[in-house]
């Protein structure tokens, strides 16, 4: 992180050596750890003043702190940065990978939430997506297998703990990097697509009507 140090010099120069090390450790942890980091593990996250410095560092690179379950922290794209990237057409996943990921999220999160089985807005799910459910698409078995491997490697999905009925999948830890606003938008879209007639879908539409699509000129 030598090159980044120069970017952060103005934020770090007035800190003591110990505080600087704690801030840098927290910054690296939330940026690069595979899973959200427990607040109790790092002084740079426990201490509000030091955590504020971590947030300022992240802001310089278009990122922001994201709290998970009230006790853990990670980092994700700031909402305005994500909006700009999306508007510019940035999309790191292939069409196949997006389709497989959406299937996992629909079966593991959107449908259980629409049925009232899953509450809250986290990605934790006790309802894994089975291989049989993934076979309902037109994606070939080989494409699906490779896509699942890529999504697992990216931390977007993970194997569930129960393998009694064969491999099944739940959302991965990287989805925890979504900000509350981004998470809410995605989950609303999934529910509207998976269960448009459900009470929760009605509540979503009542809360924020979807924009009408303009007719092509």
Tens digit of each residue's pLDDT (9 = 90 or more) over 29-61: 999 999 999 999 999 999 999 999 999 999 999
Shared domain for 100 and 26, answered yes or no, is no
Q: How many CB atoms lie within 10 A of CB 69?
A: 11
Confidence check: pLDDT of 1 > 90: no
Task: Give yes or no for residue 132 having a pLDDT over 50.
Answer: yes
Mean pLDDT of the residues in the chain: 87
In degrees, to the nearest 5, what angle opens at C-alpha 175 toward C-alphas 158 and 194? 85
Residues 111 and 61 in one domain: no
* Residues 16 and 101 grouped into a single domain: no
pLDDT in tens, 5-15: 688 988 898 99
Residue 183, number of CB atoms within 10 A of its CB = 18
| Residue 48, in any domain of the structure | yes
166 and 103 in a common domain: yes
**66-70, long-range: CB < 8 A, 24+ apart:** 66/36, 66/176, 66/177, 66/178, 66/179, 66/180, 68/36, 68/122, 68/176, 69/36, 69/122
CB 49 within 8 A of CB 94: no
In terms of domains, do 161 and 128 share one? yes
Domain span at residue 77 reads 2-83
pLDDT of residue 117: 77
Same-domain check for residues 52 and 24 = yes
Q: Are residues 73 and 109 in the same domain?
A: no
Residue 209 pLDDT grade (very low, low, confident, very high; cuts 50, 70, 90): low
Domain boundary (37, 60, 83) is at: 83
Whether residues 21 and 112 fall in one domain: no
Residue 213 lies in a domain: no
State the CATH number of the domain containing residue 140: 1.10.10
Structure tokens at 92: 């790191």
Indicate the pTM of the whole model.
0.82
**What does the chain come to in residues?**
217
Q: What is the pLDDT of residue 5?
A: 67
Do 104 and 188 share a domain, yes or no?
yes
157 with 186, same domain: the answer is: yes
DSSP string, 107-169: IIIIHHHHTTSS-SS-S--SSPEEHHHHTTSSS-HHHHHHHHHHHHHTTSEEE-S--TTS-EE
CB 42 within 8 A of CB 51: no
H/E stretch holding 170 reads strand 168-171
Total domain count for the chain? Answer: 2
Domain co-membership, 74 together with 147: no
Q: Are residues 102 and 196 in the same domain?
A: yes
Residue 79 forms part of a structural domain: yes
Taking each helix axis from N to C terminus, what angle separates 17-32 and 2-12, rounded to the nearest 10 degrees? 130
């Amino acid at each position: 992180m030598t090159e980044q140090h120069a970017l952060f010099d103005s934020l770090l120069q007035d800190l003591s050596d110990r505080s600087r090390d704690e801030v840098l450790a927290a910054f690296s942890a939330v940026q690069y750890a595979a899973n959200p980091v427990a607040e109790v593990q790092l002084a740079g996250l426990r201490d509000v003043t030091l955590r504020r410095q971590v947030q300022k560092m992240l802001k310089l690179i278009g990122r922001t702190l994201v709290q998970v379950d009230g006790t853990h922290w990670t980092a994700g794209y700031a909402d305005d940065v994500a909006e700009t990237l999306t508007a510019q057409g940035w999309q790191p996943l292939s069409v196949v990978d997006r389709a497989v990921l959406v299937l996992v999220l629909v079966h593991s999160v959107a449908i259980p939430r629409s049925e009232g089985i899953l509450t809250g807005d986290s990605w934790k799910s006790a309802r894994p997506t089975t291989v049989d459910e993934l076979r309902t698409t037109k994606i070939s078995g080989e494409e699906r297998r490779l896509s699942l491997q890529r999504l697992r490697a990216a931390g977007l999905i993970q194997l569930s703990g129960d393998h009694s009925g064969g491999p099944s999948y739940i959302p991965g830890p990287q989805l925890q990097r979504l900000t509350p606003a981004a998470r809410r938008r995605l989950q609303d879209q999934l529910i509207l697509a998976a269960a448009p007639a459900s009470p929760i879908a009605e509540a979503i539409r009542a809360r924020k009507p979807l924009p009408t699509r303009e007719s092509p000129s």
